Amino acid sequence: MKITDLKCTVLGQNPVVRITTDEGINGLAEVESSKSYLKPHVLFYKQLILGEDPTNIERVMLKIRRLGSFKPWGSAVSAIEMALWDIAGKAAGLPVYKLLGGKVRDKVRVYNGAVRFPMGGFSPEDFAENMEEMKAASEGFTIIKQGIGFHSGMVANVPDLFYGEVQKGGFHANRGLLTERGLKHVISCVEAMKTVLSDEVGLALDCGPGWMLPDAIKLAKALEPMNVMWLEDLITGDYVPYVLAELYREVTQSTSTPIHTGEQIYLRQNFKDLIEKHAVNIIGPDPCDIGGIAELKWVAEYADLHGILIAPHGTGDGLIGLAALVQVSATLPQNYIAFEYPVGRPEWWYDIVEGLPEPIVKDGFIEVWDKPGMGVELNEEATRKYLPEEDKDFFD
């Protein structure tokens, strides 16, 4: 079998990759909706993989893996890797989880991720009300994550939250020392959420990046009595092209509150310090950023050897990305907690993707399916009307 073409289009906002072969077996993959600009990055690798046997996944990846980087610049490599696994599973007539070593679990726990309800404001009462809605969601999540601090609207809407000038725009550009009032406000909002969730539903907190070391330690210690699931990306994280494991280690060693990071990290080598130095308690790689699902599994196994937990990121990975998360999460060791649940946006995504269960999530879990490859396909006829004009040959 040989690779004959690599194509990329943007459906809605999600880049979608399609690899074709001379035996008529094709592979699909998808990356985050925040990366609609990635098409040329995907196509950069085309000449490097044409003519290769797609089932020799590692051989293909050795040609392109070193040419990626931290989020978002590893997403193209990651998408190609996942599309190759889709082909390999279809060629073997097996679900991808079988090729990764088989199932550890028949159903995978997920947390809310992209399932969100509008915030009425950023007071403790607003956060409590939002948790009431999240707790009542039809998916029955057993873990709910909420953004606070620099990973929330608090920065723009809570006066004097921190000592610094508010930077407008996306990608969590703000960073600085919190005021005493600001830190108390964050803690009060967490208290309000925990009052709603009690010990019935776990509360995870997406915090930054942007916290200074003293504040990170203060927050973690203040929240110890509340038994939150984790504090994520306090110092570095989303769209930050470095790790700073030494700083994370100072926070982790100062508190019993679990500390989490890793969604932006590309490749196993860049998790090395976090894991070997026990710098965090939980890692959260995204299959669409780390370099694919085999890379994620390798890191999960290595983390498990060091007593570190894993909760894969995935909020923007879409429905094809969801399938990849289900397949790899089924195979992860017992340090697995849950993965971050992505949804299809716009809603028509649910009309063009075939193979997903209905409902997808039951009581906070997704049953692992057994269809070959990743187990999902695009309905060609339904998808064509959403293809950009320049990609009308996507299925040709």
pLDDT tens by residue, 259-274 = 999 999 999 999 999 9
Q: How many domains does the chain have?
A: 2
Query: Could you tell me if residue 189 is inside a domain?
Result: yes
Over residues 294-336, the pLDDT tens digits come to: 999 999 999 999 999 999 999 999 999 999 999 999 999 999 9
Identify whether residues 88 and 53 lie together within a single domain: yes
Among residues 307, 237, 297, the alpha carbon closest in space to that of 276 is found at 307
Predicted pLDDT at 70: 98
Whether 226 and 131 share a structural domain: yes
Residue 396 belongs to some domain of the structure: no
Q: Could you give the C-alpha distances from 370 to 56, 314, 323, 330, in angstroms and in order?
A: 22, 21, 11, 11
Burial of residue 368 (CB within 10 Å: 0-12, 13-18, 19+) is buried
Judge whether 308 lies within some domain: yes
- Judgement on whether residues 83 and 135 belong to the same structural domain of the protein: no
pLDDT at 164: 92
322 and 260 together in one domain: yes
Looking at the domain assignment, is residue 333 inside a domain?
yes
Interatomic CA distance for residues 28 and 42, integer angstroms: 13
CA dist., res. 344 & res. 311, Å (int): 21
Q: Give the single-character DSSP code of 270.
A: G
Residue 361 within any structural domain of the chain: yes
CATH, residue 163: 3.20.20.120
Which helix (H) or strand (E) is 333 found in, with range? Answer: none
Q: pTM for the complete prediction? A: 0.97
- For the record, the structure tokens of 307 come out as 């007593």
Question: Is residue 383 located within the same domain as residue 339?
Answer: no
Per-residue confidence at 229, pLDDT binned at 50, 70, 90? very high
- Please tell me whether residues 283 and 146 are part of one structural domain: yes
Mean pLDDT of 249-261: 98
Strand pairing class (14-21; 27-30)? antiparallel
Q: Does residue 169 carry a pLDDT above 90?
A: no
Residues 272 and 128 in one domain: yes
What average pLDDT does range 19-25 have in this prediction?
A: 98
List, in sequence order, every residue forming a beta bridge with 6; answer none if it has no partner.
19
- Overall average pLDDT of the 333-354 stretch: 98
- Output the pLDDT for position 300: 98
What's the CA gap between 300 and 201, in Å, rounded? 24
118, 239: one domain: yes
In the predicted model, is pLDDT for residue 217 greater than 90?
yes
Same domain, yes or no, for 10 and 110?
A: no
Instruction: Give the pLDDT mean for 118-139.
Output: 98
Tokens of 3: 């690779």
The runs of H, that is alpha helices, within 291-359 are 293-305, 318-329, 349-352
Is residue 168 over pLDDT 90? no
SS3 content of the chain, % helix, strand, coil (to 5): 40, 15, 45
Q: Tell which residue, 143, 25, 160, 166, has the closest CA to residue 88.
A: 25
What whole-number distance in Å separates Cα of residue 141 and Cα of residue 322?
Answer: 16
What is the DSSP secondary-structure string of 132-172?
Answer: HHHHT-TT--SEEEEE-GGGSTHHHHSTT-EESPPPPSSS-
pLDDT(170) > 90: no
- The proportion of the chain whose per-residue pLDDT surpasses 90, expressed as a percent, equals 98
Residues 175 and 123 grouped into a single domain: yes
Same domain? For 148 and 255 the reply is: yes
**Tokens 């330690």 identify what position?**
217
In a domain, 81, yes or no: yes
Average pLDDT over residues 98-112: 98
CATH number at residue 62: 3.30.390.10
pLDDT of residue 91: 98
Same domain, yes or no, for 16 and 149?
no
Range of the domain at 43: 3-93+379-391
